């Protein structure tokens, strides 16, 4: 069969359509599940309204921001309009940028809608049996997974089909990234502001349960799960997926023939189909556990992807070497996930050690988490390093380079990233399942569904926590590989603009300058986000204290005393919206400053330093945070003295430290790295022309 | 005047001799100060014995280790003995290695002797007036400063004068580094084991004062100050100084003529003389403070260095460009120090913010310290990046390269490092002053010298803490610049062995592989050290509890109940000796593994990744630790609720987390980086020949 680009545009669009149809089916299925408890309906309504308020205000700010950026892009990129003869390219780039932001926003918003439908229904199902409760949570999450990945595949192929020039995709990808950066940061600040403030005032000061409805922050906490862990995470993975596809397509365009570009589209479509298969077949088996169900559907999806791509490779005559790179990427992703799991799963020794250290006091909880967090970075860094090295070497034979061109080995690395992210729809489903069942647990408590429902919801929640580690391994690993190929993209773009760069030599002090500055940025970015949570949570604690002091009977648990949930939501909303822009801008401005100081060589170094320290810090923070969270849960399950013991108090402090680590700063670094890489590629021509030391 | 190498060997030896004589004078001066209080004499004796026991056992282990390494060096380096025709070089390298370890050990040991003479005398002087107490503490520290730097200058010039080949100096430098790595790690584990255990059982559990003699760990804590902060720190800066001189001399040898090598020796000697001048004139001025005295003598020394080197440059016709690089290095060192000071000085806003965050609980103390620690890395990273870039550019003109050779710009960077470290004798004096007056404070309390003596000792101690920040800025900055030039050294060595490397391109996946693995190592190294402190401190807490339970009247404060101080010292000693080797070996083995896997390109990447993440993590940990320590002191001074308040409890937890950050892991990373760089340079020929992917 003689493949053509049109064929694969068709396949991509069809696979996206199937994903959307399946998502619609799951949406209807979730909506049909019973929601009868009045209290739950009422609270779920409050959560939905809070989330909508936040998203509306956030999107309003981001719309203004995006409009400004779109105008700048139109004026300057790919070349300044006063210099270019192909004005349509500037228009296409600006439109692609807007398309990226809009698709990201829509995917986040739809995910949020389904999540807020699912949590109450999952809670009510939990009162009956674990299996249907699991299915409601998982399918609710899957709707977002399918929409996010369907939009990514659709968007990339439509943009490419129209403009036929992969570099315009950089604009689309930048749209997705810039929205993700702020959605992730803003949502991350919101969710942890509420979580930390609710824990401090509720659990620590009053000694009431996590989701006690007396606590004025409890609804804000649930809203946070939705806007941070659902909408933010969706935007994040939309971005990663688009960036991986974009960099693979940009590199493919520098190779001879169109075979490689077809391959990228084909693999992306097959990854989506494999995920649909995995999602459709996911359920708790007889005598099975929710963790088992989530993990086995991940493996089913992976196997399906490998089989489908092998078939396609044989059918269309794609390169088997590249298939090998994708397969390697996928396998390394699983291995990284398992290593992460080792450091954060409470059935493994590390969590137990951290819980045991809590017996000596909170300082030891913190030191133990920091240490194991540092250690946990090693396997993932080695995994990424090896998959990059091996993918490159597989494709670096003289024969392959002669056939396809000098960039073929780099294409191998980018396809390892595509392979690692191929099952991303499945990953998002697993990830979004977490906050849905977390909310379900809260609703079960607030709706008085009884001990058994809470226990079931707890079991579902704990599975979500465990599986998160595996899926996080994929997303961090894939981000690492993607930015390596984005570094290649940056070099191609700079050379296309006349830079004549053969590489970035670390012995070149301009490159070295960039590396050191780039390495400091993820630390600065993380610090700003953590300080934002810190500042905001203190504001919310003050608001909660005000309510306790002025609303009679609230603190004592009087049934008629109504907390003002909306005031807390408002504190979290305005605070996070005020804080979300500066951290992102610092990263973008640093890139631009380095570019104007040191030119493209310094920017190359900057990107490298940023990747290296970004990977290290995000692995450290995500894993340490997960470790502390699960250590606390382990103590609460009755170990090392159980609830109320000194060890428990220490473990709660560890968990509070870990909250902004794992849900605000850690996972935002990915996006920060991608944004910076794309800014560099987009502005490469300008850096080549204007700089001081380059 | 026509300069020759012999002239500068002479100048170096004479300046070292002056330093030794002046050290002897100060030693006698300190010894002549009165020590009359029996209790102090007795306790000082206990501290001395404890420190001696530890050092003896540590040096015994390190002697075995060094002997093994010396044999390996003799067999393999610079080339395997079965292949070489210049066997004397292998012998010289092995002897130089032994010389490095022995000089480092002697300097550490002598520093320890004087420190333990000074602390009691400083305490007794404090009962009279602050000025003499300051002088005793400062001069006690200066003895070590003078010996350390005198030995470094003497050792480097004697080795070079004998073998006339700078690459043999790598062996000498490796001797200094490998000893420093273990002395710093071992001492760092010891000191924080005792400090943390003493604080937890004393301050937190019993609510007794820091240096209460009832606490069985109190002597071990004082011993720790001596072996970690005096002997360990001395070994560390001996290593940095030797490494900076070595890399400058190795690069100078690749340039035309001997002018540049002379310049290195000349500047090193003048730095020593400038420090002698600064030390001799240091005293508290009328109405002055100890902080003012320490800082102003640092500035006096810097000014003297700049003036002396300008004179020498004019007199001998050295390159003014290189003088500029050294001056820039020194100035940037001061700036980095001031930036560090901004983040850790309790009269500046950051410490106050961290103390204020403690009011919301320990989790906020930790989050605030982590965030500001991350932020604090930025100015230093930028400072190092700029001094490397500017030094390189100053020396990269066509005329200069034509005159001296292609490596001249790299020489400029190495001389920026030499400039930054030129005043190191002064820095060590300031640094060693800290633990001496810290001990003096303890002795004043144990010797019942009265409130006023304790207040004076406290004031001296607080000055030590503040000044430490400035001096730490120098040592971390200089380590950064030194390792850049060591990277150049590695490349020269690899090329001399036939590697034919033009640079390390980050787009080369073998280099990239090395970078990622190298970046993970400082995190792993830090984690191992922190876990060692954690484990060890828990052992010591158990021992203290045992004593409280079995020695009647001890807990209650009965005068006749004698704690078994030696048991605690023994726990700290055996624990730290058991844990000090593995962390160091992991770093060394990782280098070797990367070399055999990826060859010299991977090793170049590995060194870069190691430098970048090492700088970031050491700045983060040192500064966060200093910030927590001073926040605690700020609260204890009566702010945010003062002693005994909830904020104080939270601040103590922050301080405990910070202890191993700032005194074990943070400052050991410097040495880890240097060791790894030297291992790479020494083994470069082997990596060139044997590797899998390179």
* 3-class secondary structure per residue, A599-666: HHHHHHHHHHHHHHHHHHHHHHHHHHHHHHHHHHHHHHCCHHHCCCCHHHHHHHHHHHHHHHHHHHHH
The residue with greater pLDDT, A371 or A488, is: A371
The 3-class secondary structure across B620-689, one letter per residue, is HHHHHHHHHHHHHHHHHCCHHHCCCCHHHHHHHHHHHHHHHHHHHHHHHHHHHHHHHHHHHHHHHHHHHH
Taking only the tens place, the pLDDT of each residue in A95-132 is: 999 999 999 999 888 888 888 889 889 999 988 888 89
Domain count, chain B: 1
Nearest CB neighbour to A371, from listed B372, B513, B531: B531
Q: Which of A220, A239, A233 is nearest to A432 (CA)?
A: A233
Q: Does the distance separating the beta carbons of B509 and A389 come in below 8 Å?
A: yes
C-alpha B479, offset from chain centre:
10
Question: How many C-beta atoms lie closer than 10 Å to residue A287's C-beta?
Answer: 6
Instruction: Give the distance from residue B657's alpha carbon to the nearest chain A alpha carbon, in angstroms.
Output: 5
Distance from the first to the final alpha carbon of chain B = 50
B527 vs A389: CB contact, 8 Å cut-off?
no
What pLDDT was estimated at residue A694? 67
pLDDT for the residue numbered A653: 92
**Does B534 reach chain A within 8 Å, measured CB to CB?**
yes
- What are B593-632's pLDDT values in tens digits? 999 999 999 999 999 999 999 999 999 999 999 899 989 9
**Cα-flanking dihedrals φ and ψ of residue B287, to 5°?**
60, 15
ipTM given for this complex: 0.91
Query: Which class for B630: exposed (0-12), middle (13-18), buried (19 or more C-beta within 10 A)?
Result: buried
Give the distance from residue A515's alpha carbon to the nearest chain B alpha carbon, in angstroms.
Answer: 8
Q: Is B688 on the interface with A (CB under 8 A)?
A: no
Residue B389 near residue A513, CB atoms below 8 Å: yes
The residue segments making up the domain with residue A59 are: 5-689
Q: Which residues of B touch A612 (CB under 8 A)?
A: 515-516, 519, 609, 612-613
User: What pLDDT is attached to residue B694?
Assistant: 67
> A524 vs B620: CB contact, 8 Å cut-off?
no
pLDDT at B1 over 60: no
- Please check whether residue A1 touches B, CB under 8 A: no
DSSP 3-state assignment of B565? helix
B512 vs A368, A484, A693: nearest CB = A484
Query: What is the rounded average pLDDT of the residues B395-406?
Result: 91
Say how far apart CA B43 and CA A321 lie, in whole Å. Answer: 72
| Cβ contact B385–A512 (<8 Å) | yes
- Interchain proximity B612–A613, CB inside 8 Å: yes
Q: What percent of chain A has pLDDT over 90?
A: 46
* Torsion angle of the four alpha carbons B157, B158, B163, B165, in this order, in degrees rounded to the nearest 10: -10
Considering only residues A398 and A495, tell me which one the structure prediction assigns the higher pLDDT: A398
Task: Find the residue in A nearest to B619 (Cα).
Answer: A520
Mean of per-residue pLDDT scores for chain A: 89
Q: Is the bond preceding B78 in cis, omega lying within 30 degrees of 0?
A: yes
Chain A residue closest in CA terms to B515:
A612
- pLDDT for residue A469: 66
* Distance to chain B for A411, nearest Cα, Å: 12
CB contact under 8 A, B657 and A488: no
> Distance (Å, rounded) from C-alpha B415 to C-alpha B324?
9
Separation in Å, CA of A520 to nearest CA in chain B: 6
Q: What is the pLDDT of residues B24-63, one digit of tens each?
A: 999 999 999 988 888 888 888 888 888 888 888 888 888 9
Reply yes or no on whether the pLDDT at B526 is more than 90. yes
Q: Is B243 in the A-facing interface, judged by CB distances under 8 Å?
A: no
Query: How far is it, in rounded angstroms, from Cα A6 to Cα B441?
Result: 81
CA A519 to chain B, closest CA, distance in angstroms equals 7
Asked whether residue B694 is assigned to any structural domain, the reply reads no
Residue A80's pLDDT is 79
What is the value of pTM for the model shown?
0.92
Q: Packing angle between helix A362-395 and helix A565-636, nearest 10 degrees?
A: 90
Say what the pLDDT of residue A525 is.
Answer: 95
At A533-554, the pLDDT tens digits run: 988 888 898 888 888 888 888 8
pLDDT of residue B469 exceeding 70, the answer is no
pLDDT tens, residue by residue, B581-602:
888 889 999 999 999 999 999 9
Choose among B694, B491, B678, B511: nearest CA to B597.
Answer: B694
Does the pLDDT of residue B661 top 80, yes or no?
yes
Residue A260 in this model has a pLDDT that exceeds 60: yes
Residue A600: pLDDT band (50, 70, 90) is: very high
The listed range with the strongest mean pLDDT (A61-75, A457-471, A512-526) is: A512-526
- Please check whether residue A694 lies inside any domain of the structure: no
How far from B59 is each of A190, B228, B428, CA to CA, in Å? Answer: 54, 14, 22
pLDDT single digits (tens) B91-109:
999 999 999 999 999 988 8
Q: Where are the beta strands (DSSP E) in B210-347?
A: none
Q: How far apart are CA A228 and CA A218, in angstroms?
A: 15
Measure B659 CA to nearest chain A CA, in Å: 10
**Predicted local distance difference test score (pLDDT) of residue B392:** 92
Task: Assess if residue A681 is contained within a domain.
Answer: yes
C-alpha torsion sign, points B118, B120, B124, B130: positive
Are residues B505 and A509, on separate chains, in Cβ contact within 8 Å?
no
Q: Say what angle helices A646-660 and B362-394 make with each other, to 10 degrees.
A: 40
Please provide the average confidence, as pLDDT, over all residues in chain B: 89
pLDDT at residue A350 tops 60:
yes
Comparing A55-59, B422-426, B491-495, the range with the smallest average pLDDT is B491-495
Report pLDDT for A485.
Answer: 80
Predicted confidence at residue B261, as pLDDT, reads 92
User: Which class for B82: exposed (0-12), middle (13-18), buried (19 or more C-beta within 10 A)?
Assistant: exposed
Q: Is B366 in contact with A368 (Cβ distance < 8 A)?
A: no
How far is the C-alpha of A496 from the C-alpha of B141, rounded, in Å? 59
Summarize the confidence of residues A198-226 as an average pLDDT: 80
For residue B359, is pLDDT > 80? Answer: yes
- Say if B523 is an interface residue toward chain A (CB within 8 Å): yes
Q: Which of residues 379-398 of A touch B (CB under 8 A)?
A: 381-382, 384-386, 388-389, 391-393
CB contact under 8 A, B520 and A362: no
């Amino acid at each position: 069969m003689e493949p053509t680009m049109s064929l694969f545009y068709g396949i991509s669009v069809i696979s996206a359509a199937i994903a959307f149809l399946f998502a619609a089916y799951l949406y209807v299925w979730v909506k049909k599940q019973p929601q009868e408890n009045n209290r739950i309906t009422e609270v779920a309504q409050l959560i939905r309204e809070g989330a909508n308020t936040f998203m509306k205000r956030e999107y309003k700010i981001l719309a203004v921001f995006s409009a400004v950026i779109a105008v700048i892009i139109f004026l300057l990129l790919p070349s300044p309009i006063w210099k270019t003869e192909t004005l349509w390219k500037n228009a296409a780039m600006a439109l692609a940028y807007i398309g990226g932001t809009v698709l990201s926003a829509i995917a986040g918003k739809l995910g949020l809608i389904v999540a807020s439908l699912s949590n109450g229904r999952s809670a009510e199902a939990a009162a009956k049996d674990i299996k249907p409760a699991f299915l409601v949570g998982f399918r609710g999450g899957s709707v977002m997974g399918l929409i996010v990945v369907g939009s990514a595949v659709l968007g990339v192929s439509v943009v490419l089909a129209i403009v036929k020039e992969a570099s315009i995709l950089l604009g689309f990808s930048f749209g997705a990234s810039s929205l993700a950066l702020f959605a992730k940061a803003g949502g991350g600040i919101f969710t942890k502001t509420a979580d930390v403030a609710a824990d401090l005032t509720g659990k620590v000061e009053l000694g009431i349960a996590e989701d006690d409805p007396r606590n004025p922050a409890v609804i804000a906490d649930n809203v946070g799960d939705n806007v941070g862990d659902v909408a933010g995470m969706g935007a994040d993975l939309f971005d990663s997926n688009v960036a991986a596809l974009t960099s693979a397509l940009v590199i493919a365009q520098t190779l001879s023939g169109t075979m490689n570009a077809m391959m990228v589209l084909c693999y992306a479509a097959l990854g989506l189909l494999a995920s649909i298969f995995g999602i459709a077949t996911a359920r708790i088996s007889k005598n099975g556990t929710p963790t088992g169900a989530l993990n086995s559907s991940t493996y089913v999806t992976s196997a399906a992807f490998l089989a489908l791509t092998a078939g396609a490779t044989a059918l269309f005559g794609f390169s088997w070497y590249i298939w090998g790179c994708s397969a390697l990427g996928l396998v390394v992703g699983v291995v990284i996930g398992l290593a992460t799991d080792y450091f954060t799963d409470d059935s493994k020794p590390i969590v137990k050690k951290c819980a045991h250290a809590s017996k000596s006091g909170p300082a030891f909880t913190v030191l133990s988490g920091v240490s194991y967090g540092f250690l946990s970075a090693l396997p993932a860094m080695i995994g990424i390093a090896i998959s990059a090295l091996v993918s490159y070497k597989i494709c670096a034979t003289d024969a392959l380079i002669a056939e396809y061109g000098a960039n073929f080995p780099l294409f191998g690395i980018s396809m390892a990233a595509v392979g690692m992210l191929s099952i991303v729809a499945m990953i998002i489903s697993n990830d979004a399942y977490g906050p849905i069942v977390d909310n379900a647990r809260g609703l079960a408590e607030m709706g008085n569904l009884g001990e058994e429902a809470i226990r079931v919801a707890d079991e579902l929640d704990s599975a979500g926590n465990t599986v998160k580690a595996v899926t996080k391994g994929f997303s961090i690993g894939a981000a690492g590989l993607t930015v390596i190929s984005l570094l290649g993209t940056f070099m191609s773009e700079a050379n296309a603009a006349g830079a004549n760069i053969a590489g970035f030599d670390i012995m070149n002090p301009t490159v070295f300058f960039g590396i050191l500055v780039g390495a400091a940025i993820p630390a600065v970015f993380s610090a700003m986000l953590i300080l934002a949570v810190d500042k905001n949570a203190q504001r919310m604690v003050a608001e909660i204290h005000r309510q306790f002091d002025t609303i009679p009977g609230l603190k004592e648990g009087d049934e008629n005393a109504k907390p003002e949930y909306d005031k807390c939501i408002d504190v979290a909303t305005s605070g996070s919206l005020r804080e979300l822009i500066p951290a992102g801008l610092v990263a973008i401005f640093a890139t631009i400053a380095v570019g104007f100081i040191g030119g493209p060589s310094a920017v190359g170094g900057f990107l490298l330093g940023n990747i290296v320290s970004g990977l290290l810090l995000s692995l450290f923070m995500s894993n340490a945070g997960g470790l502390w969270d699960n250590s606390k849960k382990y103590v609460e399950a009755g170990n090392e003295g159980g609830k109320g013991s000194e060890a428990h108090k220490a473990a709660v402090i560890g968990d509070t430290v870990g909250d902004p680590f794992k849900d605000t700063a850690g996972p935002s670094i990915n996006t920060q790295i991608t944004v910076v890489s794309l800014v560099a590629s987009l502005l490469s021509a300008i850096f080549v022309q204007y700089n001081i030391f380059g």
